[in-house]
Chains A and B, each alone.
Chain A
Amino acid sequence: MSKTPEGSGGGAPVVKPPAYRDPRVRAIAFQVLTVVVLVWFFWMIFQNTLHNMESRGITTGFGFLDRAAGFGILMSLIPYDETMTYGRTFIVGLLNTLMVSILGIILATILGFLLGIARLSKNWLIAKIALVYVETLRNIPLLLQIFFWYIAVLRSLPSPKQSLGIGTSAFLNNRGLYIPAPVTESGFGVVLLVLAAAIVGVWFMARWAKARQMATGQPFPTFLAGLGIIIGAPLLTFLVLGVPMSLDYPALKGFNFIGGTRIIPELMALLTALTMYTATFIAEIVRSGIQAVSHGQTEAANSLGLKTGTTLRLIVIPQAMRVIIPPLTSQYLNLTKNSSLATAIGYPDLVSVFMGTTLNQTGQAVEIVAMTMAVYLAISLIISGLMNWYNKSMALKER
């Protein structure tokens, strides 16, 4: 505050205004005042809510998280049974939400990129099929699509006793898809170690190949060689060690299949609907991104003698990515938040388990809704942060 504004006139005496008329002091003062008022406002709301709930005899606090839940959950990525706590149901629901979101993001990105490129295809049939797919699926409400995959598809599947066999060891019925589960035996750790070593090795190889190309212009088939090493080395170890893994096959016992790994129909329906719906939006983003790259770039690359594939990979895609990534982030956020529609078909996600059953058994709506909202906010901010970081690394580097 004691500093006078720079460049305030050649040689003229600088008159320092009183603090209350100094625009910088005033700006800061008003901001501080706003923050204080806001904090006070939310603190009042918080205190008043607590007070009123207490006077109405409604239990408050987070003590319920340590009490035994006493209900079963259909699918859990961590060990869970009825004797565990409400806090545990929160984690189970959270993990189920994260799983369907991450799988959905990966699958929707792959399908979306394929569709986006297909829409620009010179092949009339492929382009039109992609167009019809995008225009149909993005215009049907997601909840209807989830119901379609769940009710319509589930109804047509047979009961466990008449399961569709896929080969002799996998079964599909209206309780889900049963596949053999791998059971590792001693020595499998070595295979994992070799896999890790192969990945590190390929990374160094890629660095070396790039440096060599920079220096000599000699290209090296990094992708094929890398793939060969990453798959080949662990596979060879696996065979040399005498296949240290067995499979646990599902078998019909009583009402249902026992053993193996089971993918529940709720997960399949939700994942299919989320993937197919979000992919349409991603396809449009990818198409617009590619079209935003000036055609002159492609022509210039062609005139340098680059092949079509190389042109796409080295010239078009890197420039298109700058346009694609920001809207792609929004789609990832949408997919994650849309996954809460799971509650309609009984997939045990955070909203269904924690904001559903747990809320009703404990009745502590304010705490549970606040926790659930905080989780979605945190997930969304994390996705946003990661995508912004990726966007920065892909941004045009001007030299």
Chain B
Amino acid sequence: MNKMIAALAGVAAAGIFATGSAQAAETLDAVKGRGELVCGVSTGLPGFSVPDDKGAWTGIDVDTCRAVAAAVLGDANKVKFVPLTAKERFTALQSGEIDMLSRNTTWTATRDTSLGLNFAGVNYYDGQGFMVMKSLGVKSAKELSGASVCIQSGTTTELNLADYFRLNGMEYSSVVFDTSDQTIQGFEAGRCDMLTSDQSQLYSLRTKLPDPSAAMVLPEVISKEPLGPVVRQGDDEWFNIVKWSLFAMVNAEEFGITSANVDEMKDSKDPNVGRLLGTQDELGPQMGLDKEWAYNIVKQVGNYSEMFERTVGMGSPLEIARGLNALWSNGGIMYAPPAR
């Protein structure tokens, strides 16, 4: 709440004292001057952004921030993470409290057009689903008429839920909590019959239950939820940097560049690899970055596949399959424009 107020005060202050259009290109300079990237993440969602027992942040959203830090500052560890609730996130970005938002945020038309923000791509394709206790004996969401639903405030989930139940002529009552921790607590206490959220979050929240095997995720996926990093509108240079940091990881996977072989790949004869890693072309300086920008990303953070498997995939407790998030050449929809 305090952070919310601080963020709002920030918006007001920015609104009051900033003078017009002095924003273009200011984010890159600010980050370089500070020597640190300030990145907004969630308050704790395993697989996406969560602090471990030593206070170090891990997750796919965290790695997305680290990739940008590697590209801009040459060091993936120069990131300060600011945990934000769903309610606080856009205000924090608008007010300039954070440089970018990487907080499992769904790209929608309203958010992209009316908030003064730009979505810089998609780092995880998701969809909304339902989780129930196995003891309830339900096999499909269509059997859930009359149910109570635990839900986190300030998410697209609330709207999808209302649409889905109305479309299917079913009744529900929603219990709205402030953070995902409170939501899973309410579900665990039996306040609701089901918990609804993006499918990846359901798997992630399930690991927080005392007995994860007592709960199950229903097969229905009721919405499209493309999650990705967000930046302020009006700073195109910074927008490009965040967008292409993400694309660099996807392209690296496509060309078979990994953190292990990136040094050998620098000598590759493949012009695509050479262009990306800065040995044959100067993509970096065009964006105001070092020409080793993509090399730094892959060396320090890895390519998209490494990031995915480490945080949410088979190498993590969540064990989510690539599915939609596989490369376009492997049956998924993860696709990056060519780096040339």
Q: Once A and B bind, how many residue pairs between them come within 8 Å at the CB atom?
A: 142
A49 to B94, CA, bound (A): 13
Q: Could you say which of A73, A151, A253, A255 has the most chain B C-beta atoms within 10 Å of its C-beta?
A: A255
Query: Are A258 and B146 in contact, CB atoms less than 8 angstroms apart?
Result: yes
Query: Please, what's the 1-or-0 string for A336-354, where 1 marks a CB less than 8 Å from any CB in chain B?
Result: 0000000111101000110
Write out the residue numbers on chain A whose beta carbons fall within 8 Å of the beta carbon of B191. Answer: 154, 174-175, 265
Q: Could you say which of B86, B186, B234 has the most chain A C-beta atoms within 10 Å of its C-beta?
A: B186
Task: Determine if B182 is an interface residue (Cβ-Cβ < 8 Å).
Answer: yes
Write out the residue numbers on chain B whose beta carbons fall within 8 Å of the beta carbon of A155. Answer: 189-190
* Segment from A20-28, A117-125, A298-306, A362-370 that makes contact with B: A362-370
Task: Determine if B287 is an interface residue (Cβ-Cβ < 8 Å).
Answer: no
Query: Are A72 and B162 in contact, CB atoms less than 8 angstroms apart?
Result: yes
Write out the residue numbers on chain A whose beta carbons fall within 8 Å of the beta carbon of B174. Answer: 71-74
Task: Determine if B333 is an interface residue (Cβ-Cβ < 8 Å).
Answer: no
Q: How far in angstroms is the closest Cβ of chain B from A338?
A: 13
Q: Which of B147, B176, B178, B234 contacts A256 (CB 8 A)?
A: B147
Q: Which of B12, B146, B234 contacts A255 (CB 8 A)?
A: B146
Query: Are A71 and B162 in contact, CB atoms less than 8 angstroms apart?
Result: yes
Q: How far in angstroms is the closest Cβ of chain A from B66?
A: 27
A56 to B186, CA, bound (A): 39
Write out the residue numbers on chain A whose beta carbons fall within 8 Å of the beta carbon of B173. Answer: 72, 74, 256
A362 to B162, CA, bound (A): 16
Write out the residue numbers on chain B whose beta carbons fall within 8 Å of the beta carbon of A227. Answer: none
Query: Please, what's the 1-or-0 string for B37-50, where 1 marks a CB less than 8 Å from any CB in chain A?
Result: 00000000000000
Query: Are B163 and A70 in contact, CB atoms less than 8 angstroms apart?
Result: yes
Write out the residue numbers on chain B whose beta carbons fall within 8 Å of the beta carbon of A73. Answer: 174
Q: Could you say which of B163, B166, B182, B191 has the most chain A C-beta atoms within 10 Å of its C-beta?
A: B191
Q: Could you say which of B15, B155, B185 has the most chain A C-beta atoms within 10 Å of its C-beta?
A: B15
Some 29 contacts from A to B, beta carbons below 8 A apart, are A45-B16, A48-B16, A48-B17, A53-B116, A56-B23, A56-B233, A70-B159, A72-B161, A72-B173, A74-B175, A82-B162, A155-B190, A174-B191, A255-B146, A255-B193, A258-B146, A265-B191, A345-B182, A346-B182, A348-B176, A356-B176, A357-B153, A361-B154, A363-B114, A365-B8, A365-B11, A365-B94, A366-B15, A369-B8
- B interface with A by C-beta (< 8 Å): 8, 11-12, 14-21, 23, 86-87, 90-91, 94, 110-111, 114-116, 136, 144-148, 153-155, 158-159, 161-163, 165-166, 172-178, 182, 185-186, 189-191, 193, 232-234
Can you name 16 extra interface pairs (CB under 8 A) apart from A82-B162, A361-B159?
A52-B15, A52-B19, A57-B233, A72-B174, A74-B174, A151-B189, A174-B190, A174-B191, A175-B148, A175-B191, A255-B148, A265-B191, A346-B186, A356-B153, A360-B154, A365-B94
- A interface with B by C-beta (< 8 Å): 45, 48-49, 51-53, 55-59, 70-74, 82, 151, 154-155, 157, 159, 174-175, 253-256, 258, 265-266, 343-346, 348, 352-353, 356-357, 359-363, 365-366, 369
